[in-house]
Amino acid sequence: MSTELSTAATRGKTGAAILGRVINPDDPTLSPEAARSILKLTFPKADKDRVSTLLTSNQEGRLTTDERAELDEYLRADAFLAAFKSKARLSLKRAGLKP
């Protein structure tokens, strides 16, 4: 999923492209404290459950247009979080620390 953000970051004016350039996941410049805090970020259980329901509906071909849009938003948020966590892991590695 993070590929969407990474690919979009190299071009374009989409939200994903803009956030990709802001985060710049390949630039490990976070402090260890910030990096560790970012690595703790996760979706709440209710959101994880909702994504699971949406994915099941998608696999069964029962996803409505509104549900598809909702799932797409979750996927974009996941890509954003993955890029942010990648930067955090690289920052810790650069500092000689384990994630």
Spell out the domain ranges in the chain.
2-94
The yes-or-no verdict on residue 9 having pLDDT over 80 is no
The share of the chain scoring above pLDDT 90, in percent, equals 73
With a CB cutoff of 8 Å and minimum separation 6, the contacts of 30 are 38, 87, 88, 91
pLDDT top residue among 76 and 47:
47
Residue 21 corresponds to which tokens in the numbers above? 């350039």
pLDDT of residue 19: 86
Q: What is the pTM of this model?
A: 0.80
